[in-house]
Amino acid sequence: MRSLRPLCLLLALAAAPFPGRAAPARVAGAAQVVALQSARAGDLVILGGGYDSDLRPGMVCRVTRGAMPVAEILLVELRPACCAAVILSLEPRQSIRAGDLARMKILKT
């Protein structure tokens, strides 16, 4: 089994404040994409929100750029202020980029 050390480092970096940059506003159930990490089994999406943004492991989130849908992701590892997700699906001719917004997917009944 591969070490989780690189993932933990990325999560720590995502949660760390950057000099000269204001912290993004926290929105319940949403977080901004801060990085993408390539891995053997698939790419990881690092978000700048976690438990503090009401996100939980196993949630499916929609990633958007403005009003345009980009992808769906599955949250797999969370910390208070950041999390990691795997990509479930991508819209045709789209890719996830830093700055995209991930919001929890809500099922309507």
Q: What pLDDT does 81 receive?
A: 87
SS3 state of residue 5: helix
Q: Where are the domains of the chain?
A: 5-14+27-104
| pLDDT, tens digit (0-9, with 9 covering 90-100), for 76-106 | 999 988 899 999 999 999 999 999 999 998 8
pTM value surpassing 0.85: no
Helices (H) and strands (E) in the chain, counts: 1, 6
- Which stretch of DSSP H or E encloses residue 13? helix 5-15
What pLDDT score does 1 carry? Answer: 40
Per CATH, the architecture of 5-14+27-104 is what? Beta Barrel (2.40)
Banded pLDDT at 14 (limits 50, 70, 90):
low
* Range list of H helices, 1-109: 5-15
Provide the terminal-to-terminal Cα distance of the chain, rounded to the nearest Å.
40
Kindly state the average pLDDT of the residues 15-41: 69
